[in-house]
Amino acid sequence: MIGQDELQHIREQVDIVDVISSYIPLTQKGRNFFGVCPFHDDNHPSMSVSREKQIYTCFACGATGNVFKFIMDYEHVSFMEAVAIVATKAGVELNFHLKKTHSTSSKYQKLYDCYSLASKLYQNNLHTKSGSGALEYLKKRQIDDACMKEFEIGYSLKDGQVLTNLLLNKKYEKTVLLKSGLVIENAYGLSDIYIDRVMFPLWDLEGRVVGFSGRLYNDEKQFKYINSKESEIFKKGELLYNYHRAKEEARKKKQIILMEGFMDVIRAYTIGIKNVVATMGTAVTKEQASHLKRLSNDIVICFDGDAAGAKGTASCIEELLKLGVTPKVVRLENDLDPDEYIRKYGASAFQNKLNNPMSTMDFKLLYYKKNKDLSDSADLTSYVKEVISELSKIPDEVMREVTLKKVHDESGLEISFLREQLEKLEVQEVKNVSVPIVKKEKDKKETKYEKAEKALLFYMLRDGNAIRVYQEKVTFMPTKVYRNLAREISCFYNEYGKIELADFMTYVSDHEMIEEALSSIVTLPLKEEAKEEELNDYAKVIREYTIKSEIKRLQKEMAGASLEEKTKLATRIVELRLGDKKYDK
């Protein structure tokens, strides 16, 4: 374990603004810094980062915390891994050895272990006599040893029992082997699914092997690729190939490049382009688009140059526009994919393409003109309508005007007419928006007692004087979760003699319910400081609730009590009422 004092020391060695800005762009506005929140689909900068308090807060989704919490949620790592990351950034040497763990439930650990073993076996096979043919194929594809090692490329032997026997010898159950998708069962028993193929591992966002793509390297007429089936740990639509490697490079360059295939990514690496990921052959999903946006708002789509690549590009643009991101596009000639283009034309030609991407609308103009004769009235009408429809989704007024001018030049239609058609379409779209009729439940009205609890807690997180008022005049909060939070604040203050919000967040990091309550309190729209009389007023309201509740309980007891007991209960009620008044002196 690591002590609170050491955690505080590590936190104080970094500036939360510097750390968070290495992940997402931040812009200073007044005393705070603002950026797009990575923890929800945020179209506007709603995350505030305070250098003074060393915390972040999203005013849209409520996410809040200190530097440890940000890294935990952003990197999907445990608390201690987050501490280790911050310590590394701060240049602080930890006095404990951190064994890397992952946040995913341990119930899947056997599947992860199977894939890890398989990956090591395949890599070893590639450099044996049996793997010489596969190795020669990779060399011919201009993939060198360093690249093979970086991407953990391997080879599955012709003997279809090697991996199966290895896993069985490691005592993995048959059900686990079959569930992994690495082993199949037929009339002859269990055997490997991958036989005599070059093996490319596929990773999840945290860098764990969760699948494979096995490629033929000879001329045999079989399926060129065999890809792992989806499993509990492998969901294609939720992953991006090379994400775990590309994220740091993307943050440095403030740009991420999206391709279709893993060979495209590997080829890009051979010429020094590392801020690149791939979809692995699926249409871009909402989840993948969100992952991309998390890396950067500057997204370049570089799919295959054929018709399917153009269609995929158009679909990807739609998903990103839904998230408020307008990507750029690179199109490659002669139907080439990035791997083929780089090998044919070289690194500088490809880099020049990346340096000069086209805008979303320029791509759409080309896309909608494809196979259309603009001298034909029907084709021209279709083209203009499609472009106008696309422009209605683009908020950039300059982009709209530039595009309308291009359509005017191509069609001969007046810009005023085109603008009028765009305005009509937008009005029609607004009219067509269906608003679901939802029976609203009456919002639970917040009582004055709850308001007082939350306000006092808000100031207890900022001011030792508020904690003193709580300890002397309240001691008991009516709401359980606030009661627990107040107790933790009080304990922290008693132990350390001060209240520091960023450190208190670390103090309660293993109490989920308290963390949630803390988030709701931190984001309250209250002024930063409260006067003594205001704090006393909050305490009085809270105390009033406690006394009223106790009096009600005693009054119920009086109903069936003897005369002597009634007298005692009545005396107790008077004492409660008088006792409350003494606090006001």
Provide the CATH number for the domain around residue 492.
1.10.860
Do 223 and 253 share a domain, yes or no? no
Q: Which of 210, 234, 258 is the last residue of a domain?
A: 234
Do 453 and 574 share a domain, yes or no? yes
Do 463 and 376 share a domain, yes or no? no
Assess if residue 304 is contained within a domain: yes
Do 247 and 226 share a domain, yes or no? no
Q: Which of 311, 328, 356 is the last residue of a domain?
A: 356
Tokens standing for residue 185: 């069962």
Do 225 and 242 share a domain, yes or no? no
Q: How far apart are CA 464 and CA 492, in angstroms?
A: 11
Do 461 and 556 share a domain, yes or no? yes
Of 100, 35, 98, 70, the C-alpha closest to 506 is: 70
Residues 153 and 138: beta-carbon distance below 8 Å = yes
Full residue range of the structural domain in which residue 400 is found: 365-430
Give 257's strand partners.
Answer: 276, 300
Residues 220 and 230: beta-carbon distance below 8 Å = no
Q: How far apart are CA 222 and CA 220, in angstroms?
A: 6
Q: What is the CATH number of the domain that holds 139?
A: 3.90.980.10
Of 274, 236, 277, the C-alpha closest to 259 is: 277
Give me the amino acid identity at 479: T
Q: 10 Å Cβ neighbour count for 398?
A: 8
Residues 57 and 523: beta-carbon distance below 8 Å = yes
Query: Tens place of pLDDT for every residue, the chain, 585 residues?
Result: 578 888 999 999 999 999 999 888 899 999 999 998 888 877 778 899 999 999 999 988 888 999 999 998 887 777 888 898 899 888 887 765 544 444 444 578 999 999 999 999 999 999 999 999 999 999 999 999 999 999 999 999 999 899 999 999 999 999 999 999 999 998 889 999 999 999 999 999 889 999 999 999 987 666 788 899 999 999 999 999 999 999 889 878 889 999 999 999 999 999 999 999 999 777 899 999 988 987 888 999 999 999 999 999 999 999 998 887 889 999 999 999 999 999 999 999 999 999 999 999 999 999 998 888 998 999 999 999 999 998 888 777 888 899 999 999 988 999 899 989 888 887 776 555 544 444 444 456 788 888 999 999 999 999 999 999 999 888 778 888 998 999 999 999 998 899 999 999 988 887 888 888 898 898 888 998 999 999 999 988 888 887 777 777 777 778 777 887 778 778 777 766 666 555 554
Helix or strand (DSSP H, E) at 28: strand 27-29
DSSP 3-state of 215: strand
Do 390 and 483 share a domain, yes or no? no
Q: How far apart are CA 577 and CA 95, in angstroms?
A: 55
Assess if residue 72 is contained within a domain: yes
Q: How far apart are CA 369 and CA 277, in angstroms?
A: 29
Give 225's strand partners.
Answer: 215
Give 329's strand partners.
Answer: 301, 358
Do 258 and 227 share a domain, yes or no? no
CB-based burial label for 345 (10 Å; 0-12, 13-18, 19+)? middle
Of 278, 140, 272, 276, the C-alpha closest to 198 is: 140
Record the pTM.
0.66
Assess if residue 347 is contained within a domain: yes
CB-based burial label for 332 (10 Å; 0-12, 13-18, 19+)? buried
Helix or strand (DSSP H, E) at 397: helix 397-411
Q: Which of 306, 338, 356 is the last residue of a domain?
A: 356
Of 100, 110, 55, the C-alpha closest to 76 is: 100
Residue 6, CB half-sphere, CA atoms under 13 Å: how many?
A: 12
Do 227 and 130 share a domain, yes or no? yes
Do 128 and 214 share a domain, yes or no? yes
Q: How far apart are CA 405 and CA 37, in angstroms?
A: 36
Q: What is the CATH number of the domain that holds 302?
A: 3.40.1360.10
Assess if residue 101 is contained within a domain: no
Assess if residue 437 is contained within a domain: no
Assess if residue 443 is contained within a domain: no
Do 249 and 147 share a domain, yes or no? no
Assess if residue 411 is contained within a domain: yes
DSSP 205: T
User: In total, how many domains does the chain have?
Assistant: 5
Q: What is the CATH number of the domain that holds 44?
A: 3.90.580.10
Assess if residue 179 is contained within a domain: yes
Do 337 and 413 share a domain, yes or no? no
DSSP 3-state of 327: coil
Residues 99 and 126: beta-carbon distance below 8 Å = no
